[in-house]
Amino acid sequence: MRNNQLIYALYGAGNTGKTTTLRLLGKKLEEVAISSCAIPEKGDFSTIFDIRGVRVAITSAGDNEHEIRTGLETLNEHGPFDILFCASRTRGQTTHYLMDIFKEQNLRWVDNMYVSNSNESHVQLCNEAVANFLFSSLLIELRT
């Protein structure tokens, strides 16, 4: 890992759309850059984009420490990254692991917005809103 990495940890309870949100972010990034690995329509994924010389990584597995560790190892196979977007539970082993491994980095916690109801269009709007926020945050980082 590089010094001065920026980490965005998207946190939330299980099955609240963290992977879906990160997938939407990845699809936005695919519009402006080529990813190291294709983003699947379902399931967890890890990929890296090169955007104007900045390596931006996404790993969506975040339900437990083993999954986060495996996702980061997959990313490291493609070389170092500057900015990481990852998933995490709200507390417990996933948050402790991220705080430990990235204690010297700029770790930002982003709460995953979730609507608990049966209206799928509202759930999708929440996922899109958070993905848009993360994308806009990335654009700001790339400007500085």
Q: What is the pLDDT of residues 6-39, one digit of tens each?
A: 999 999 988 889 999 999 999 999 999 988 888 9
pLDDT band for position 123 (50/70/90)?
confident
- Domain boundaries along the sequence of the chain: 6-143
How far is residue 9's CA from residue 116's CA, in Å, rounded to a whole number? 21
DSSP result, the chain = --TT-EEEEEE-STTSSHHHHHHHHHHHHHTTS-BSSPPPSSS--EEEEEETTEEEEEE---SSHHHHHHHHHHHHTT---SEEEEEE-SSSHHHHHHHHHTTTSEEEEEEPP---SS-HHHHHHHHHHHHHHHHHHHHHHHH-
pLDDT in tens, 102-120: 998 999 999 998 877 768 8
The reported pLDDT for the residue numbered 3 is 56
- CA atoms of 110 and 12, how far apart (whole Å): 9
Task: With a cut of 60, say whether residue 2 has pLDDT above it.
Answer: no
pLDDT surpasses 50 at 1 = no
Give the model confidence (pLDDT) of 65-97 as tens digits: 999 999 999 999 998 999 999 999 988 889 999
pTM as predicted? 0.92
Task: Specify the pLDDT at position 55.
Answer: 95
